[in-house]
Chain A
Amino acid sequence: MLTEYTFWFLSFLAVFSAFAVILSRNPVHSVLYLILTFFSIAGHYFLLNAQFLAAVHIIVYAGAIMVLFLYVVMMLNLNQAEPQRTSAWAKFLGAGAAGILMLVMIAVIRKAEQGTPAGLPVNAGTVENLGITLYRDFLLPFELASVLFLGAMVGAVYLSKKEIT
């Protein structure tokens, strides 16, 4: 019962703050609302008993990536930011692209199975169980991910240090 109420509360919070992200004028406010969105989604993971995912969501998304976003927003010169004039064409194209994305989402949700998949224990999401699965069965993706990190690191350093060689 309590779980259900929590679910509705968190869902409301997630949708509300997601709307606030795109509707607020001040980009710093947007970033803060996005953090709130991430928190409510992390709450959903807790409800699903996926504790590691929830912790990762808070530490990586809310704690690390949003710091990066905040830096970007703070770097932009906000004082000169006039209300940007978007052409009617851009608006039309944007609405079209968003509509197609929504169509895809609806199609996916309609196809998705309802309820918990059979054969999955309740505690599949704890750190212990997830670690066993990740490091026994998904060895190759894990090691490939580290190659990806290496690539990202090299890319970031290369782009920001380009002028000094």
Chain B
Amino acid sequence: MNENTSHLSEYVPIVIMALVALGFVVTTMILTHTLGPKRPSKVKDDTFECGIPVIGNARSPFSIKYFLVAILFVLFDVEVIFMYPWAVNFKELGAFGLWEMFTFMGLMLVGLFYIFRRKALDWE
């Protein structure tokens, strides 16, 4: 398929880009930290709640729905990632690979159908 060499040097520019972006972000943060005025007050630094005194705390448990979305996302994400090596070799694997993947997708659809039937992703 490919030439038998390491591709490691192709990833060096990504590191360089990360350093450039990091440099920009850090410089800007330091600039805005030093240049801006600082007049702290108790009321100003309080949590914003549309003008009324803060009631309770923001870190309270939230709907399990979000959690379920995250779980289903993890599962589907793994399945999607699994399809990439197949898609790259799609032409080479031919009809056999096609039926193989249709089986995989069929099982994925069954799962999706179950999710819809159980109304797991319905937001009331």
Q: How far is the CB of B66 from chain A (nearest CB, A)?
A: 6
Q: How far is the CB of A124 from chain B (nearest CB, A)?
A: 10
**Contact between B8 and A49 (Cβ–Cβ < 8 Å)?**
yes
Query: Is B45 located at the chain interface by the 8 A CB criterion?
Result: no
Query: Which residues on B sit within 8 Å (CB–CB) of A161?
Result: 118-120
Mask for B81-113, Cβ within 8 A of A = 1, else 0?
A: 110111011001100010010011001101100
**Contact between B88 and A3 (Cβ–Cβ < 8 Å)?**
no
**Contact between A67 and B114 (Cβ–Cβ < 8 Å)?**
no
Instruction: State in angstroms the CA–CA spacing of A92 and B33 once bound together.
Output: 48
Instruction: State in angstroms the CA–CA spacing of A110 and B91 once bound together.
Output: 43
Interface of A is mostly: helix
Mask for B51-86, Cβ within 8 A of A = 1, else 0?
A: 000000101111010111011111101110110111
Query: Which residues on A sit within 8 Å (CB–CB) of B60?
Result: 77
Q: Which residue of A has the minimal Cβ distance to B104? A: A146
A146's contact among B59, B79, B115, by CB below 8 Å, is which?
A: B79
Instruction: State in angstroms the CA–CA spacing of A146 and B2 once bound together.
Output: 29
Instruction: State in angstroms the CA–CA spacing of A56 and B85 once bound together.
Output: 11
Q: How far is the CB of B101 from chain A (nearest CB, A)?
A: 8
Query: Which residues on B sit within 8 Å (CB–CB) of A51?
Result: 7
Residues of A51-88 at the interface with B, using a CB-CB cut-off of 8 Å, are 51-52, 55-56, 59-60, 63-65, 67-68, 71-72, 74-79
Mask for B1-25, Cβ within 8 A of A = 1, else 0?
A: 1101111100100000000000000
Q: How far is the CB of A123 from chain B (nearest CB, A)?
A: 5
Query: Is A129 located at the chain interface by the 8 A CB criterion?
Result: yes
- Residues of chain B touching chain A, judged by Cβ–Cβ distance below 8 Å, are 1-2, 4-8, 11, 57, 59-62, 64, 66-68, 70-75, 77-79, 81-82, 84-86, 88-89, 92-93, 97, 100, 103-104, 107-108, 110-111, 114-115, 118-120
